[in-house]
């Protein structure tokens, strides 16, 4: 067998010399590489701003991460306020119930706030003296 030729005598494809820089096959390869570079550039020019816009929207948008965190904090604060108000309401309901039904509570309040006493008792009131002017 002769080097560069097949058994039938035709030159092998691997050994056929290709054209120079401007041959048709090399131009196709250059065009493909150029199209690939253009596509990469287009993806970079269009895709990167779109990706940045999407990330910005997810983080700082109207329904983004920061807004969600603020809303969670606000919800927790409101739940704590509601729990405190409910506890205060329960205490006031208990006090109202005692004022309606417990005579000892009514007597204690009358003695403390109104300065009242039972018949035959002496009550003393001590008022704060006005500060002296110098």
- What's the pLDDT tens digit per position in 88-127? 999 999 999 999 999 999 888 888 888 888 888 887 777 7
pLDDT at 79: 98
pLDDT at 23: 63
Q: Which two tokens mark 62?
A: 């109207």
For residue 52, tell me if it sits in a domain: yes
Contact 17, 23 (CB under 8 A): no
For residue 5, tell me if it sits in a domain: no
Can you say how many angstroms the Cα of residue 121 is from the centroid of all Cα atoms in its chain?
Answer: 66
For residue 30, tell me if it sits in a domain: yes
For residue 98, tell me if it sits in a domain: yes
Question: How far apart, in whole angstroms, are the C-alpha atoms of residue 20 and residue 15?
Answer: 15
Provide the H-helix boundaries in 20-132.
24-42, 48-60, 65-101, 103-114
Q: 58 Cβ partners below 8 Å, 6+ apart?
A: 64, 65
**Which is higher by pLDDT, 84 or 30?**
84
- Specify whether 112 is located in the same domain as 78: yes
Count up the domains in the chain and report the number: 2
Kindly report the backbone phi and psi dihedral angles of residue 99, in degrees, each rounded to the nearest multiple of 5, phi listed first.
-65, -30
The DSSP call for residue 130 is P
- Specify whether 79 is located in the same domain as 106: yes
In this prediction, residue 1 has a pLDDT band, given cuts at 50, 70 and 90, of very low
- Specify whether 80 is located in the same domain as 109: yes
- Specify whether 56 is located in the same domain as 89: no
For residue 3, tell me if it sits in a domain: no
- Specify whether 50 is located in the same domain as 85: no
For residue 36, tell me if it sits in a domain: yes
* pLDDT for residue 68 is more than 60: yes
pTM higher than the cut 0.75: no
Which domain range does residue 99 map to? 73-116
């Amino acid at each position: 067998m002769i080097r560069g030729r097949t058994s039938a005598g035709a030159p092998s494809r691997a050994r056929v010399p290709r054209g120079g820089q401007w041959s048709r096959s090399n131009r196709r390869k250059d065009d493909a590489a150029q199209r690939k570079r253009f596509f990469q550039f287009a993806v970079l020019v269009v895709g990167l701003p779109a990706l940045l816009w999407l990330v910005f929207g997810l983080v700082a948008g109207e329904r983004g991460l920061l807004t969600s965190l603020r809303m969670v904090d606000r919800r927790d604060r409101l739940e704590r306020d509601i729990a405190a108000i409910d506890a205060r309401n329960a205490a006031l309901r208990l006090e109202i119930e005692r004022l309606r039904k417990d005579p000892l509570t009514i007597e204690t309040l009358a003695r403390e706030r109104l300065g009242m006493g039972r018949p035959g008792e002496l009550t003393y009131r001590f008022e704060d003296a006005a500060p002296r002017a110098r």
